[in-house]
Amino acid sequence: MAWYAVPLLVSVYKGYTVTADEWRHHERLVGSNNTEEAWLACTAADDLLSRAADLHYRRGNHELSERKLRLFGCACCRLLWLQIPAAASRAAVVAAERYADGSVGEGELAAACEAAAEFRLSTEYSKNAPTWAAASIARGVDDEWLYRTHISDIIEAVLKAIEYRPFGFDTEMMEATLCQLFRDIFGNPFRPVAFSPSWRTATAITLAAQMYESRDFGAMPILADALQDAGCNSAEVLDHCRGDGPHVRGCWIVDLVLGKE
């Protein structure tokens, strides 16, 4: 059997059991290959995910934020909203978003996941990638490493879903959108921002909270003005606020303003 076909558990990396494919993928990204230049040039969301995780490990951190990973997965699902017509499936995505921010507990999350999974398995949607992704994002987390690879599966499901192209996307366009969403949520890990508490004025917090709740991020340039008025001179922050987006829940700047991790 060829080496690339072996999915056996082969190693333990920093306390996590990983498969052969996961280990090889990680090994390709460590060291000198994982640079800011490579990060900025990357056009595959799954590779961005692996690069961010690798940099996190090398800095001595345990794992990427589960909350941000889940919100990224939810943003992926919302790209396919028109292909997720069932109420149970959409409710699972909403429950996952609320769980990410502590608004619901594990019991409600599990119930939403179960309802979405039952719908998918009992209908013609059993092999439907968007419906699978919606049920899957509401899964609980027993092992953060496995959850990170689970998000990788959701990326794959999104790309698989656009084979039907019901809304004008092709694979390249969708990959670009997924990368934009990932960078919006995780920022540039090679340029961490020292966010001053003095920038969290009442105006900035109100703007950020309104955008977060409504999912309408049209006021990002106004947030940039508010931050600048408060003394923010970070080009990284201001340029992101005034850029073209897209922005979603979990946006790294909105999170910084609201004190979310």
Q: What is the pLDDT of residues 166-177, one digit of tens each?
A: 555 678 888 999
Are 145 and 176 within 8 A, CB to CB?
no
Q: Which letter does DSSP use for residue 19 in this model?
A: E
pTM as predicted: 0.83
User: What's the confidence (pLDDT) of residue 166?
Assistant: 55
User: What's the confidence (pLDDT) of residue 177?
Assistant: 92
Helical pair 220-229 and 235-242, crossing angle rounded to 10 deg: 150
Question: Rounded to an integer, what distance in angstroms lies between the CA atom of residue 84 and that of residue 67?
Answer: 22
Question: Rounded to an integer, what distance in angstroms lies between the CA atom of residue 198 and that of residue 47?
Answer: 35
User: What's the confidence (pLDDT) of residue 125?
Assistant: 67
Beta bridge partners of 9: 19
Are 174 and 75 within 8 A, CB to CB?
no
User: What's the confidence (pLDDT) of residue 3?
Assistant: 27
The first and second tokens of residue 238, run together, are: 């201001």
Where b means 16+ CB within 10 Å and e means fewer, 163-190 reads eeeeeebeeeebbebbbbbbbbbbbebe
CA-wise closest residue to 72 among 55, 97, 50: 97
Q: What is the pLDDT of residues 89-116, one digit of tens each?
A: 999 999 999 999 999 999 999 999 999 9
Are 258 and 205 within 8 A, CB to CB?
yes
Query: For the chain, which ranges sit under pLDDT 50?
Result: 1-20, 23-24, 27, 143-145
User: What's the confidence (pLDDT) of residue 149?
Assistant: 76
